[in-house]
């Protein structure tokens, strides 16, 4: 994307719309647009995307501050944007994910020379301990002020009523700070400060009592026994889950025994609990009982239809495909039924899947389709997967699942140069890592051919 001609008013509006759409998604197209049109003002879009974390699942995906800051730094009205965002941080009372993102941006501003950012950040950090203001900045204060930041954090928390201390057990932040500063003995310095300040001592005792996180080598899971499965089915919880690794280690005769128990079960609730088991491993008999349940009315309490559909994803059959096509016609967002196509995909289905994706009216509805789309094209690595996978890429605001989409596009040999160009600027770290891997692979392949 290399364009520097000045667009007319209608083109500017369209480019700003495209830019904000990319910010919503978290893709690198926003950076490419900014590079291609440095004369355009994207201030409004950048402020909107910074004040509110636009990720589909913000707590899981985390702050997008690292993604947004390079865009703000390049922006035509950078000073205006920084001033506006710092004011937003100063006054914002609640919204943990949004506050964390604003604090992350304030840290970037300060590290790049904006001294006002530190003052405003500290002012908002102090407000965290006042009524009506949500706590924020515990990670950024360590990066901004180092040991003194740790002491500020400890002093503030140590002044709180003792019964509130457990809400602030941020041992992992301190451990991360130690890893980032190996020349410091953080806990030694922390202990010294605690001897001089009662409030710091309160927090030091709290943190010292918490066992640091240690990575434990995963043990090879043992296979389920038939008795184990029965115990899980008998649990009073509404839903039951089965560990896939343990399921796959079971002997075939044990899987058959579980299947017979499923067929013999008279209690509907218990019977439905078996279904998830047969997603992890193929049902060893004729799929007719599964199809009967999958054809029924959905009940989100038991998830029976959903889990029967997942169990049927292992089977190919004209009646299974017929059910899939029927439900795709009847339901606007037939997310539960896409798995019926995993083993029943046919040439030409890609066009139908693109049409289904086009039915979605918002990001949440697009996201409902992602697991089915991924499952279909993992099982069917065909060239015509390109259009549906790209439709998801260009319309889904989940960075976590975007990594799966890009991986499938690459594995199915349909990853376009246009998307590859965007990936270095993606909001998701795993997507950026995958991009580097793909480029190395392509470079090595080109070297071999030459």
Alpha carbon distances (Å) from 257 to 228, 261, 281: 12, 6, 13
DSSP 8-state assignment for residue 250: S
pLDDT of residue 300: 78
pLDDT of residue 78: 97
Confirm if 147 and 141 have CB atoms less than 8 A apart.
no
Q: Which long-range contacts (CB under 8 A, 24 or more apart) does 379-382 make?
A: 379/342, 379/343, 379/345, 380/342, 380/345, 381/408, 381/411, 381/412, 382/345, 382/347, 382/350, 382/412
pLDDT of residue 446: 81
Spatial distance between the Cα atoms of 378 and 391, rounded to a whole number of angstroms: 16
Confirm if 422 and 29 have CB atoms less than 8 A apart.
yes
Structure tokens at 195: 């001897």
Q: For residue 40, give the nearest of 67, 73, 15 by alpha carbon.
A: 15
pLDDT of residue 215: 60
pLDDT of residue 172: 86
Confirm if 134 and 93 have CB atoms less than 8 A apart.
yes
pLDDT of residue 413: 96
Q: Where are the domains of the chain?
A: 1-136, 146-215, 217-315
pLDDT of residue 216: 62
Spatial distance between the Cα atoms of 353 and 380, rounded to a whole number of angstroms: 14
The pTM of the whole model exceeds 0.95: no
pLDDT of residue 214: 64
Confirm if 186 and 174 have CB atoms less than 8 A apart.
yes
Confirm if 348 and 317 have CB atoms less than 8 A apart.
no
CB contact set of 410 (below 8 Å; sequence gap of 6+): 434, 438
* pLDDT tens for each residue of the chain, 450 residues long: 656 667 788 899 999 999 999 999 999 999 999 999 999 999 999 999 999 999 999 999 999 999 999 999 999 999 999 999 999 999 999 999 999 999 999 999 999 999 999 999 999 999 999 889 999 999 999 999 999 999 999 999 999 998 888 888 888 888 999 999 999 999 999 999 999 999 999 999 988 888 776 666 678 889 999 999 999 999 887 778 899 999 999 999 999 999 999 999 999 888 999 999 999 999 999 999 999 999 999 887 778 999 999 999 999 999 999 999 999 999 999 999 999 999 999 999 999 999 999 999 999 999 999 999 999 999 999 999 999 999 999 999 999 999 999 999 999 999 999 999 999 999 999 999 999 999 999 988 888 876
Q: Rounding to the nearest 10 degrees, give the CA dihedral for residues 211, 212, 214, 219.
A: 20
């Amino acid at each position: 994307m290399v364009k520097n001609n000045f667009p007319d008013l209608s083109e500017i509006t369209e480019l700003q719309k495209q830019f904000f759409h990319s910010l919503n998604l978290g893709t690198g197209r926003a950076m490419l647009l900014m590079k291609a049109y440095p004369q355009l003002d994207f201030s409004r879009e950048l402020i909107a995307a910074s004040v509110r974390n636009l990720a589909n699942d913000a707590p899981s995906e985390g702050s997008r501050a690292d993604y947004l800051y390079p865009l703000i730094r390049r922006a035509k009205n950078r000073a205006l944007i920084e001033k506006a965002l710092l004011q937003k941080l100063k006054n914002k009372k609640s919204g943990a994910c949004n506050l964390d993102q604003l604090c992350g941006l304030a840290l970037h501003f300060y590290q790049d020379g904006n001294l006002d950012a530190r003052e405003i950040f500290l002012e908002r950090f102090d407000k965290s301990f006042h009524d009506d203001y949500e706590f924020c900045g515990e990670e950024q204060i360590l990066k901004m002020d180092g040991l003194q930041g740790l002491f500020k954090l400890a002093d503030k928390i140590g002044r709180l009523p003792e019964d509130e201390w457990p809400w602030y057990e941020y041992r992992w932040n301190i451990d991360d700070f130690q890893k980032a500063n190996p020349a410091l003995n953080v806990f030694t310095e922390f202990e010294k400060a605690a001897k001089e300040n009662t409030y710091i001592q309160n927090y030091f005792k709290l943190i010292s009592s918490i066992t640091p996180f240690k990575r434990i080598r995963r043990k090879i899971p043992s296979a389920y026994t038939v008795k184990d499965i029965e115990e899980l089915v008998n649990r009073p919880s509404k839903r039951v889950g089965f560990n896939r690794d343990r399921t796959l280690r079971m002997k075939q005769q044990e899987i058959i025994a579980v299947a017979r128990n499923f067929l013999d079960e008279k209690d509907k609730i218990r019977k439905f609990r078996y279904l998830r088991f047969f997603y992890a491993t193929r049902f060893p008999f004729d799929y007719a009982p599964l199809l009967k349940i999958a054809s029924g009315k959905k009940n989100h309490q038991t998830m029976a239809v959903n889990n029967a559909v997942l169990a049927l994803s292992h089977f190919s059959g004209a009646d299974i495909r017929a059910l899939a096509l029927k439900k795709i016609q009847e339901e606007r967002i037939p997310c539960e039924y896409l798995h019926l196509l995993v083993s029943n995909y046919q040439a030409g289905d890609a066009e139908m899947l693109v049409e289904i994706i086009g039915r979605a009216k918002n990001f949440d509805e697009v996201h409902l389709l992602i697991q089915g789309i991924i499952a279909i094209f993992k099982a069917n690595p065909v060239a015509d997967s390109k259009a549906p996978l790209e439709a998801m890429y260009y319309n889904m605001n989940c960075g976590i699942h975007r990594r799966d989409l890009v991986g499938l596009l690459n594995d199915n040999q349909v990853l376009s140069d246009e998307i590859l160009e965007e990936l270095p600027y993606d909001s998701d770290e795993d997507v950026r890592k995958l991009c580097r891997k793909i480029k190395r692979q392509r470079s090595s392949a080109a070297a071999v051919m030459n």
